[in-house]
Amino acid sequence: MGQSTSYGTIIAGDKGGAAILPDSESHSSGPGPEVMDAATLKGDKVVNSAGDDIGEIKAIMLDVARGRIAYAVLSFGGLLGVGAKLFAIPWSALTLDAPEKRFLLDIDKETLENAPGFDKDHWPSMADQSWATRVHEFYKVRPYWDDAYPPAPDLRKTGADVVPPMS
């Protein structure tokens, strides 16, 4: 079930997903926190286990071919966004803190300062498997593509064999 922490009981992420600290006070009829509009997460603060503000989410990166969220791009440092360093944080390394509308990342500021990062004008090739593996190893999480979840059939190749014709 859930893992008990100083923040509360966290629901573990599934198959490379982010863990969720649910909001027990809110019972909205709308989406979230299990299914959310990615645009609503942009700008969310990220804090570490000490409560230090370590940046904000600038983008959510999708692995389109696998149908998965690959990374959240974290902006850290700089002054008013100028000179900030960007980091691709594996989605499974994050915990959504729904009550506080922020993310938790188990990393101290010094370690983050030495993490593999990039600047806004020089993004890495995030589809490069060796780069992606190094990033996942740094954050000590299993790569999201490394599980037994079968890939979806490629309907462009099998079309009529998989999808019945519309009547």
**Per-domain residue ranges of the chain:** 2-25+32-143
Count CB atoms within 10 A of the CB of residue 16: 22
> Angle at the Cα of 24 (from 47 to 88), degrees rounded to 5?
30
| Total-model pTM | 0.72
Strands (DSSP E) found in 25-164: 45-47, 53-63, 68-76, 85-90, 94-97, 102-105
61-106 pLDDT, tens digit per residue, is 999 988 889 999 999 877 665 678 999 999 999 998 888 889 999 9
User: Any idea which fold 2-25+32-143 has?
Assistant: SH3 type barrels. (2.30.30)
Q: Are 72 and 86 in contact (CB under 8 A)?
A: no
